Structure 1
Amino acid sequence: MIWPDLLERPRPQPDVEIRYGDNQMQVVDLWLPPGKGPHPTVLMVHGGCWQTEIADRRIMNWIADDLRKRGFAVWNIDYRGVDREGGGYPGTFLDAAAATDALRQHAPKYNLDISRLVATGHSAGGHLALWLAGRHRLPANSPLRSLNPLPIHAVVSLGGLQDLEEAARPPGSGCGLEVIGKLTNGRYADTSVPPLAPLKIEQVLVNGLQDRIIPSSYAETYANKMRAAGDEVRVRMVDRTGHVELIAPDSVAWAAAAEEIERALGR
Structure 2
Amino acid sequence: MGPTLVRTDTVSPVAQPSDSVLDRAAALPDAVVRYADHADGVVDLHLPAGPGPHPLVVTLHGGFWKQAYDRRHQRPLARDLVTAGVVVAAPEYRRVGGAGGWPMTGDDVLAAFRALPALLDGLGVATSSVTVTGHSAGGHLVLWLVSQVPGIDRVVALAPVADLAAAARDGLGDGAAQALLGGSPTDVPDAYAAADPLRLLGSADPGTHITVLHGTSDDVVPVGQAHALADRHARVEVVALDCGHFEVIDPGSAVWPTVRRSLLGGAP
Normalising by structure 2, we get a TM-score of 0.84
Cα shift at 1:210: 1.2
Separation of aligned partners in 1, 2:261 and 2:171 = 30
Separation of aligned partners in 2, 1:46 and 1:131 = 14
Cα shift at 1:7: 4.2
Separation of aligned partners in 2, 1:5 and 1:42 = 23
Cα shift at 1:20: 1.4
Separation of aligned partners in 2, 1:8 and 1:168 = 27
Q: Give the partner amino acid of 1:154.
A: R
Kept in 1, the 8 Å contact 2:229–2:236? The answer is no
Identity %: 35
Q: Give the partner amino acid of 2:105.
A: T
Structure 1 residues 11 and 220: alpha-carbon distance in aligned structure 2, compared to 1, 3 A threshold: same
Kept in 2, the 8 Å contact 1:206–1:236? The answer is yes
Cα shift at 1:189: 1.6
Cα shift at 1:4: 4.6
Kept in 2, the 8 Å contact 1:89–1:182? The answer is no
Kept in 2, the 8 Å contact 1:41–1:112? The answer is no
Structure 1 residues 188 and 70: alpha-carbon distance in aligned structure 2, compared to 1, 3 A threshold: same
Cα shift at 1:124: 0.3
* Secondary structure of the corresponding residue to residue 118 of structure 1: strand
Cα shift at 1:166: 1.9
Cα shift at 1:27: 0.8
Answer yes or no: is 1:162 the counterpart of 2:168: no
- Find 1:38's aligned residue among 19, 41, 53: 53
* Secondary structure of the corresponding residue to residue 23 of structure 1: coil
Answer yes or no: is 1:102 the counterpart of 2:115: yes
User: Which stretch has the larger CA shift, 15-24 or 73-82?
Assistant: 15-24
Structure 1 residues 151 and 83: alpha-carbon distance in aligned structure 2, compared to 1, 3 A threshold: farther
Answer yes or no: is 1:184 the counterpart of 2:197: no
* Secondary structure of the corresponding residue to residue 111 of structure 2: helix
User: 1:1-267, aligned counterparts within 5 Å?
Assistant: 4-53=19-68, 55-85=69-99, 87-108=100-121, 109-114=123-128, 116-136=129-149, 151-169=151-169, 171-173=170-172, 175-177=173-175, 179-185=176-182, 186=188, 187-198=191-202, 199=204, 200=206, 201-227=208-234, 232-239=235-242, 241-263=243-265
The match for 1:141 is none
Cα shift at 1:8: 5.0
Cα deviation, 1:147-179, whole Å, max 9, x if unaligned, reads xxx63221111111021122121x232x132x2
Question: Gaps (5+ residues) in structure 1?
Answer: 137-149
Cα shift at 1:107: 2.8
Q: Give the partner amino acid of 1:102.
A: A
Separation of aligned partners in 2, 1:102 and 1:188 = 26
Question: Gaps (5+ residues) in structure 2?
Answer: 1-17, 183-187
The match for 2:9 is none
Structure 1 residues 7 and 261: alpha-carbon distance in aligned structure 2, compared to 1, 3 A threshold: closer
Separation of aligned partners in 2, 1:122 and 1:8 = 15
Aligned length: 239
Kept in 1, the 8 Å contact 2:146–2:201? The answer is no
Structure 1 residues 103 and 8: alpha-carbon distance in aligned structure 2, compared to 1, 3 A threshold: closer
Kept in 2, the 8 Å contact 1:161–1:214? The answer is yes
Kept in 1, the 8 Å contact 2:53–2:126? The answer is yes
Structure 1 residues 5 and 182: alpha-carbon distance in aligned structure 2, compared to 1, 3 A threshold: closer
Kept in 2, the 8 Å contact 1:207–1:216? The answer is yes
CA RMSD of aligned residues (A): 1.8
Cα shift at 1:36: 1.0
Q: Give the partner amino acid of 1:64.
A: A
Cα shift at 1:226: 1.3
